[in-house]
A and B are shown apart, each in its own frame.
Chain A
């Protein structure tokens, strides 16, 4: 593709005085996709486009018709209409329409481009050339399509569904097939901030989510970096042994460790109260029944689970810091602390920053540790979430146990917006993203 043939260049120069107007004709004909291509005597392509269009209409017209009607009304008549299935069909219809529009736009663009070439006095591409062209231009699309297609159905569609759901009144009392669901606009969001119990719950869950994210993540990063630096001092023996032991929490599947911890922290017969604290002569602590102690335990567990990853990362970076830096610092009379503060730490933070940021977003959404340890409990009076519920586990609880689907969806939307904004803000400032921006 790099070598542009001479005739195209000269054709482009002449483009001001076309002899004919194949462009316009082709585009107008292409209102029915394929006709424009046939007009250009691109028989195979034209027939292909026509067939595609015909089958699109034949296969999807019912779905589109039904889906669009469904998504607007969410059903009008019981027991015939099931609002949630109608919503699903509606969203699928919207996705199908988007794909259709993209194809349609491509069809017009293609007819126009070929017409432009003909107007410039060149023959349209033969099938063989087109084939070559399609392979070259279309290859990246070919690579991306399978993954993207899957992504549409298992990730994008569910997210769209939740967004739509946030604007309905789908809950225990408005639940198909017995009842219809209706659009309610921003009511769920308004309720969340206006109704006392919702507002209080939201505020308390949200603030614990923030505290949890910051404390747990910062601790795991600090412990990870600290241990890595200590372990990698030159004169420390048994490095391999220590590294292997300390990496274990990362290597053992997290859900196993969390469940084990929930056994160990059990108030009455867990090993922490029974053996460890008894050994130090400390009285039993209500780990699972007092919100404060559950939070302490959770932060401890997450640090335990998360530090090896940071440690492994840091070890990798430490080995790449040139020794000359330290030697020069020693000559200048720097202490070990100075060296750590001015050489090691900046180097480590700089090269692991993007990964460390994802650690924060990961913990913000760390459902497993909260749910598997104590199901978000213990229960707290005056709010409808458990004492250690973070946003994500609250959403789960609302969906799975109290059937407040639309409220859960509204919280999901709020959560997603927060995560996306914070993460985008951070990513914009990291080097990796700036590089990408230049392309």
Chain B
């Protein structure tokens, strides 16, 4: 009887906490959705359940702002960043995991240090360099900067994961006459899909989340990314375009969140395997 009571208390306590946590998590998100459907422009009148729900802000987004262009720019940058980083990181990590060469340890150490110094402390230098080589206000510059910034940390992640793939597999393949690249494509690549998926997703998301580098390197309005465009919307006249901003945010958050939740399982397995060992 006493056991049952204790269990009841424990479970109701658990549910209480979980529900409160869920509420705190969901409230701001519902609030944005609510705001985006509110008529009017400002924060003042917005309620979480709008009385006269309207999609006019979404319509406005497509007709009166550069939103579609920003979205397209961001997707383009994201896809390029993702493909380039996966190629560079996949290969670099393969070298660090499977070969012993002069400079290997120093290279790893350098990556470890570089991943800790945030890249944009050097925005000034990046700006001047881009200006010097004539890449200012181009998406290429932004993509290169993103890829470079992603390399150090994710190489460690991928290397850690590769290290868990038994070396005997490569060796037996080598005895069978497989070359360096064949081993990579036939053995390492198929077995390391989870971590490469994680890296792909990380590098896909990072341009979405970055606002500083984009705001510095891209000058003209039609080249902006979503983060910069939306930030300007909020900071220009705070409160006055808030509902518009909310609508824009909803259209970003929903696809990304779905992508994320769908790939969540990959994520955890890739990170814990790479993290604990690497």
Contact = CB atoms under 8 A, between A and B. Distances in A.
Interface of A: 84-85, 88, 135, 137, 139-141, 143-144, 146-148, 150-151, 153-159, 161-162, 165, 223, 227, 230-231, 233, 235-236, 242, 244-257, 259-264, 266, 269-271, 275, 304, 312-313, 315-317, 336, 351-352, 354-355, 361, 365, 367-368, 371-372, 392, 395-396, 399-400, 405, 408, 412, 415-416, 419-420, 423-424, 427, 432, 435-436, 439
A246 B123 contact: no
Given A259-B245, A419-B116, A427-B112, A88 B132 contact: yes
Contacts of B148: 150-151, 153-155
Contacts of A424: 112-113
Given A140-B101, A150-B148, A236 B14 contact: yes
A151 B114 contact: yes
Interface in B27-56: 28-29, 31-32, 35, 42-44, 46-48
Contacts of B209: 253-255, 368
B28 to A, nearest CB: 6
Contact of A147 (B92, B99, B268): B92
B125 A252 contact: no
A158 B129 contact: yes
21 contacts: A88-B125, A137-B101, A140-B99, A148-B92, A154-B147, A162-B121, A162-B124, A223-B21, A227-B17, A235-B11, A256-B253, A257-B28, A261-B28, A262-B234, A266-B43, A269-B43, A312-B267, A316-B271, A368-B209, A396-B123, A436-B105
Interface of B: 7, 10-11, 14-15, 17-18, 21-22, 24-26, 28-29, 31-32, 35, 42-44, 46-48, 88-89, 91-92, 94-96, 98-101, 104-105, 107-108, 112-114, 116-126, 128-129, 132, 144-145, 147-149, 151-152, 155, 160, 180, 205, 208-209, 211-212, 227, 230-231, 234, 238-239, 242, 245-246, 249, 252-253, 256-257, 260-261, 264, 267-269, 271-272, 275-278
Contacts of A153: 129, 144, 148
Contacts of A242: 18, 22
B172 to A, nearest CB: 14
Nearest to A143: B95
Residue picked from B32, B98, B122, B211, most chain A C-beta under 10 Å = B122
Contact of B249 (A227, A256, A317, A416): A256
A312 to B, nearest CB: 5
A261 B88 CA distance: 36
Contacts of A162: 121-122, 124-125
A348 B124 CA distance: 41
Contacts of B11: 235-236
B18 A419 contact: no
A156 B107 CA distance: 13
A260 B32 contact: yes
A283 B123 CA distance: 42
A256 B230 contact: yes
Contacts of A155: 114, 119, 148-149, 151-152
A283 to B, nearest CB: 19
Nearest to B123: A399
A252 B92 contact: no
A251 B249 CA distance: 13
Nearest to A170: B124
B125 A158 contact: yes
B22 A246 contact: yes
A112 to B, nearest CB: 15
Nearest to B264: A247
A263 B25 CA distance: 16
Contacts of A151: 114, 148, 151-152
A13 B224 CA distance: 67
Contact of B91 (A147, A150, A419): A147
B211 A432 contact: no
B92 A255 contact: no
Contact of B121 (A244, A270, A315, A415): A415
Given A230-B18, A269-B239, A355-B271, A372 B126 contact: no
